[in-house]
Amino acid sequence: MHFREERARELERMAKLLEKTFGADVATTPIYTAIKELKNENSIPVLKTGTINQNVWGYDIEDFEIPLDTLKHVKPSSIDKGKVILNLKVRGDVNTWGYMNDPFLELNFNVDIKGIGDKVYHFGFHIDRHDLTLPHAEPHPVYHIQYNVNPSNSKTFDYGEIMFIDTPRLLHFPLDFILGIGFLTSNFFPAAFGCLCDEREFVKLNNQYQEIIWKPYYHTIANHWKPFEQGAITWSPTSDLCPILL
Amino acid sequence: MSKPKYLYIDDENDSSITSIINGFNDQGIIEVEHFPLSAFQEFGKLKNELIQRRKNNAFDGLIIDLRLDGDGPDRVDFNATSITQELRSLTARGDINSFPIILCSTEPKIRETYDADKSSHDLFDYKFEKSNEPNFPKFSQKVFSLVSGYNWLNSSKRPLNEIFGRDDLSSLDPRILERFLEAEAKIVIYDFAHFAVKNLFHNPNPLIKEKIVAARLGVDIEASGAYWPALLGDVFSSAKYKGLFSEGWSRWWADGIINIFKRLTDKKLSFLTSEERVALLIEKTKINGLVAAKPLPFCKSTEFWTICEGYKKPLDPLEGFRTYSSYEPKPWQESKYLSLDAVLERVGREKGLRPHPSELKRIETIKQSLS
């Protein structure tokens, strides 16, 4: 219970900070509802599999809204007001928190963006923890971002109501032509990616280029937390995090 | 329960007073008796008389004219706020039982005196405007409900979930009721009454009015005729507020409405247009006569979540302008909004309805783009 109390207190600190910064522009009720749920010792979050485990902790944030203040980066240009709506589900195991392992068991970070101009427009994306036990055609990095423009999953959704908004500036590892082939095929031509991975030459080339291009990139990021705790890492395999890491 | 009795205290003593008293008494819901202020001109004398009468259960509530120090023949040297303050202190100390106190005045006097004196806003349970043909059936129901609520609270110490008529308080934003959970805090009955009327009923969240319920469900109340009450009564009745003063104020739990819709349709209400919401409601409930609400002039969105306070019609808050309020909404409350058309047409200005100062720049920009 102490663990969940601590996480609740941290969420509360963030809520207070938002109230101080945004005032009436941001409603913090969704955060306080999550805090109350976290503090409720009778409420253990259920995992997607239906599993209930005393070590599982988590919270849901429903419809937390912030104003969309970057309207000049939005098309069509008639859109003059907008908001960003977050729906978030976090589930973790208290025993992996703070260790060099996957911090979460489940994560859905769902963002919907709504704009109003000559009509109502939508855009959205999610950052999810993919359940790697599920069958999938394309290789899925365990944590990935993906567009989701139809917020209510409506069959009759009018795709003319999608707004164009500059993507968040997500950091991305560098790609040259050789590494780019793995990136492109794994996302857009997965069958070919599978065939390429069976080719010794493809794997060797990728190993060589990943060593030269990605290793300095990721080691530099990892070097932010000193000392680099190589021996403590228990999160594996690395291909779950990045399926094109060969 | 016999009819609750209110004493009516005013410095005036003419036909206008009689018409107010008769207006209430004709409804047959409460009994209003004119209090002879001329016999109790001194503050102490009036106070003692009211204490004595309250101890003898000779009245259940007071209706007091704001400017007892006005121009009437029974005028005294103090106004309603002074005597009310004293009575509230006496009830807080437990000298006499708590009871409802209703402020009564004309609109200009309320503006001039009451609105200017914010410190007096916490004293009264309800504000009743004398002029403009008062809606006696509505006011009678509210002041009746206040007496039954006060009596119910006076009769026994009650747990919070009973007071607010909700089994599961844990799913509410904890800030809403936290002041009542503080073990050391001395809570008096008036605190519950004041909190319910001023906080729970006046601003949206966690309770919402019928018109906001309709806006969230995407329904045009008028065009849907008898089908709207059928939907509200048959399908959403479990979200109805059944706590303190619910006989006088019809409200619904906002989360209850969302949850019932979700259970019914497996869809998230806020992401749907009014047409989609109503189509789903018709499909699942077979209440075929429901009609989807349309946007107000200048508005494009039908993803309604609130109402325009000017027109009392559905509005997407993203297209609205926050209204000015003499008190800032609590962090757990939602703001009230005006549509652009209501702002431009100055709808409700006479009742003090106007945009929040922080919206003025945006309104000015829009006005320029329209001209």
Query: Concatenated DSSP letters for B25-84?
Result: HTTTSSEEEE--GGG--SHHHHHHHHHHHHHTT--SEEEEES-TTSSSTT--SS-HHHHH
Residue B111, helix vs strand vs coil: helix
Is B322 close to A24, i.e. CB distance below 8 A? Answer: yes
Cα separation, A187 vs A181, in Å, equals 10
**CB contact set of A165 (below 8 Å; sequence gap of 6+):** A70, A73, A74, A75, A113, A115, A123
Half-sphere exposure of A44 (CA within 13 A, CB side): 11
The SS3 assignment for A110 reads strand
Segment B88-117 mean pLDDT: 82
- pLDDT score recorded for residue B110: 67
User: Average of pLDDT values for B313-323?
Assistant: 96
> Which pLDDT score, from 0 to 100, does residue A123 have?
93
What pTM was estimated for this model as a whole? 0.88
pLDDT at B197 over 70: yes
What pLDDT does residue A78 have?
92
Which residue does chain B place closest to A33, by CA atoms? B173
Alpha-carbon radius of gyration of chain A: 21
pLDDT in tens, B334-357: 999 999 999 999 999 988 899 999
pLDDT score of B329 more than 90: no
- Which amino acid is located at A62 in the chain? E
Q: How far apart are CA B197 and CA B100, in angstroms?
A: 11
CB pair distance less than 8 Å for A81 and B318:
yes
What ipTM goes with this model?
0.79
Residue B215 pLDDT: 98
Q: Is the pLDDT of residue B116 over 70?
A: no
Q: How far is B176 from chain A (nearest CA, A)?
A: 10
Which two structure tokens, joined as six digits, stand for B308?
């325009």
Tell if the CB–CB gap between B270 and A24 is shorter than 8 Å. no
Between B289 and B130, the more confident residue is B289
Q: Which of B173, B302, B330 best tests the A interface by mutation, with the highest count of A CBs <10 A? A: B173
Instruction: Work out the average pLDDT over B49-64.
Output: 95
Look at residue B24 and tell me whether its pLDDT is greater than 80. Answer: yes
Judging by beta carbons within 10 Å of its beta carbon (0-12, 13-18, 19+), is residue B149 exposed, middle or buried? buried
Position with higher pLDDT, A127 vs B71? A127
> Taking chain A (246 residues) in consecutive chunks of 10 residues, what is each chunk's mean pLDDT?
91 92 86 91 87 92 92 90 95 93 95 93 93 80 89 82 86 94 92 92 95 95 89 90 87
**Residues of B whose CB is below 8 A from A154:** 272, 276
Question: Is B128:B64 a contact under the CB 8 Å cutoff?
Answer: no
Q: Which of B342, B351, B274 is nearest to B308 (CA)?
A: B342
Q: Are A5 and B135 in contact (CB under 8 A)?
A: no
Most trustworthy range by pLDDT among A71-75, B221-225, B323-327, B346-350:
B221-225
Q: What is the DSSP letter of A48?
A: T
Q: Are B30 and B6 in contact (CB under 8 A)?
A: yes
For B271, which of A29, A119, A152 is closest by C-beta distance? A152
Structure confidence at residue A108 (pLDDT): 95
Q: What six digits make up the tokens of A167?
A: 């993507």
**Does A227 sit behind a cis peptide bond, omega within 30 degrees of 0 on the bond before it?**
yes
| Set of chain A residues whose Cβ sits within 8 Å of the Cβ of B175 | 32
Contact B173 A29 (CB under 8 A): yes
Contact A151 B271 (CB under 8 A): yes
Q: How far is CA B108 from CA B67, B148, B165, B310, in A?
A: 11, 31, 37, 20
Give me the residue from B273, B300, B335 closest to A24, CB to CB.
B335
Over range B92-105, report the average pLDDT: 91
pLDDT, residue B112, reads: 67
Query: Looking at this protein, which amino acid is placed at residue A108?
Result: N
Q: Do B268 and A119 touch (CB under 8 A)?
A: no
Q: What average pLDDT does this structure show over B272-298?
A: 97
- The closest alpha carbon to B98, from B158, B34, B152, B154, belongs to B154
Q: Would you call A98 exposed, middle or buried from its count of C-beta atoms within 10 A (0-12, 13-18, 19+)?
A: exposed
Classify strands A81-93 and B31-34 as parallel, antiparallel or unpaired: unpaired
